[in-house]
C-alpha cells in the first residue's frame, strides 16, 4: 500500500494547480480535501478532513494568504499524531513557503514544525525522498 499524502491548502495558492503537479509524484496516494471530501458544509468537510489528516502518513501543505486558517488547523492536528513531544520537528510535514509570503518573520517559527521548501518542485523532490521510508 502506498503512503498517503494529505494535500493541505487552496488549489491556487501561489502556484495555480500545484496539487495536480504534486500528484504526478509516483509511489504515493493523495488525499485532496477539495476533491475527496464533501465540501458542501463545515459539518461535513471539517470532520472528513481531520479524519484524513489523522490517517495520512505525510502532509504537504501550501498555506496561502488569509483565509488559510483551515490549513494551519490541519498542520497542527497532523503534528499531534506525528511527533512525540511538543516542539519536535516532523520530517513528514512539508510546507511550501513562497518567498513573498508575509509576515516574513513567521517562517522562523514554522521551520521548527517541519521541512520548509520554497517551490512546488522542491516539495516534489523532498516528497520523493520520503518514499523509501515506507517500503
pLDDT score recorded for residue 66 = 63
**Residue 57 forms part of a structural domain:** yes
**Residue 29 forms part of a structural domain:** no
The predicted-structure confidence for 60-69, as pLDDT tens digits, reads as follows 999 877 667 8
The predicted-structure confidence for 45-91, as pLDDT tens digits, reads as follows 788 889 999 999 999 999 877 667 888 899 999 999 999 998 899 99
The predicted-structure confidence for 99-124, as pLDDT tens digits, reads as follows 887 777 788 888 999 999 999 999 99
Q: CA of 3: how far to CAs of 28, 29, 80, 134, in Å?
A: 5, 6, 19, 7
42 lies in which domain range? 37-98
**Residue 122 forms part of a structural domain:** no
What is the tally of structural domains in the chain?
Answer: 1
pLDDT score recorded for residue 5 = 97
Amino acid at each position: 500500500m502506498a503512503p498517503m499524502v494529505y494535500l493541505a491548502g487552496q488549489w491556487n495558492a501561489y502556484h495555480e494547480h500545484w496539487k495536480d503537479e504534486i500528484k504526478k509524484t509516483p509511489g504515493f496516494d493523495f488525499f485532496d480535501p477539495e476533491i475527496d471530501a464533501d465540501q458542501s458544509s463545515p459539518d461535513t468537510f471539517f470532520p472528513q478532513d481531520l479524519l484524513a489528516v489523522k490517517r495520512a502518513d505525510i502532509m504537504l501543505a501550501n498555506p496561502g494568504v488569509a483565509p488559510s486558517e483551515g490549513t494551519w488547523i490541519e498542520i497542527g492536528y497532523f503534528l499531534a499524531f506525528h511527533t512525540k513531544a511538543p516542539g519536535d520537528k516532523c520530517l513528514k510535514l512539508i510546507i511550501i513557503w513562497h518567498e513573498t509570503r508575509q509576515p516574513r518573520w513567521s517562517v522562523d517559527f514554522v521551520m521548527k514544525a517541519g521541512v520548509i521548501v520554497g517551490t512546488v518542485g522542491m516539495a516534489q523532490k523532498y516528497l520523493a525522498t520520503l518514499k523509501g521510508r515506507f517500503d
